[in-house]
Amino acid sequence: MSVRYRQPGVVLTDRRFTVPLDHSAPDGRTIELYAREVVASDKEDQDLPWLVYLQGGPGFGAPRFTGRDTAWLGRALEEYRVLLLDQRGTGASTPVNRQTLPLAGGPAAQAGHLTLFRADSIVRDCEAIRPQVTGGAPWTVLGQSFGGFCTVAYLSLAPEGLAAALITGGLPSLDAHADDVYRAAYPRIARKVAAHYARYPQDVERARRIADHLLAHDVVLPNGYRLTVEAFQSLGAVLGSGDGSHRLHHLLEDAFVRTPAGPELSDAFQEQVQARLSYAGHPLYALIHEAIYAQDERPTDWSAERVRAEFPRFDAAKALAGDEPLLFTGESVHPWTFDCDPALRPLRETADLLAARTGWTPLYDPARLAANEVPVAAAVYHDDMYVDTAHALTTARAIRGLRTWVTDEFEHDGVHVGGARVLDRLLSLVRDEA
């Protein structure tokens, strides 16, 4: 049963759908998907086309907007009904976490279960619910980041379901292994860190001091998270957003307090750090992050950890032994992530088994993409910290008819901070109005 309610300028309807866990076994176990339908209050009774939004991640539910004039939503509501889909395993859809995964069985069964939460299954979910939402008409998809990966998979698996495809910061490589992704990423991350220190040179010493403290002390945050120096470095993931450098600076500036036992990391600092590092609200991200790049016989085998060893500048102990600035890291998941985070510790064996898994199926169909007939436009953020620009442009050239907007005005979160303008530009491109 759907529930309808109102916020300023919009009418919202909660929608729930039942879909197969495994679309190749439609008579087997099912899961529930949650989505929020949004329509402008002055268009509530109009027959409008649909736009479905696929969030970045993997492992994040759709944004919980309040009212109409937030990010890109207001522009979309000028002409669409919008469906904010919580992808399988996220948000209010059937959850995947340390509490629920044991329902699938032991670690081996859990790892097999998690293979069903990649882009191909999300596309099949969309196609399963589309007839119930649109009456069978194709819809427009807006894919941000990993949602863009899902959109390219949609163009590969079920282009007949799409009226148009809009992608922001989410053109994946069609054939790169996870190792290729991280080899391209670490130099890019180093550039972002250098830019941060150029803006806030005082943070060089602050970061070194915190890292030195962590190397000498066993710090456990209030929620049970073990804050190692590697975990501290991973706070650099925030540098991929438009205001990330400023937020990192504010976090570092008051890290210590004086105590009878000497300087210690303050409660306020620890509270902020655990909020940024904990995966309690989105464990699926950590579990399948490298699996979204797996497309052949090779395992991912903790790719980010292995490849990091090829870039010794990221070694905190070596940096502190000399006079090099500490390098933060970016969007990556490591074996130690599952040791540090209490929300992930029970799933360490499951994660190891998933990292060792072979025989992954392809997510994209290059031949079908080369023959694409769906109008597609993509915003490519120059030197995007999370998605390699060279990989993105290679894929753009491989999708027939795709039009790109390459810009350095935004970081990876451009669709949120530049919302209406970004969406308007992409709509103009798919309609040949720009």
Active site positions, annotated: 145, 384, 412
The counts of H helices and E strands in the chain are: 18, 13
C-alpha 110/C-alpha 116 separation (Å) is 10
C-alpha 337/C-alpha 231 separation (Å) is 7
Non-local CB neighbours of 161 within 8 Å, separated by 6+ positions: 126, 127, 130, 138, 139, 154
Residue 12, token pair as written in the block: 């919202």
CA 352, 146, 295, 189 torsion-angle sign: negative
C-beta neighbour count of 393 within 10 angstroms:
15
Q: Is 294 helix (H, G, I), strand (E, B) or coil?
A: coil
Residue type, 360: W
Preceding omega of 366 cis (within 30 degrees of 0):
no
Report long-range pairs for 126-135 (Cβ below 8 Å, ≥24 apart): 126/52, 126/54, 126/85, 126/154, 126/158, 126/161, 127/158, 127/161, 128/17, 128/19, 128/20, 128/23, 129/17, 129/19, 129/33, 129/35, 130/161, 132/17, 133/15, 133/37, 133/50, 133/52, 133/83, 134/50
Non-local CB neighbours of 153 within 8 Å, separated by 6+ positions: 119, 120, 122, 123, 363, 364
Non-local CB neighbours of 145 within 8 Å, separated by 6+ positions: 55, 56, 57, 168, 169, 170, 386, 387, 412
Lookup result for tokens 């008051």: 254
DSSP conformation letters of 375-434: -EEEEEETT-SSS-HHHHHHHHHHSTT-EEEEESS--TTHHHHSHHHHHHHHHHHHTT--
C-alpha 277/C-alpha 269 separation (Å) is 12
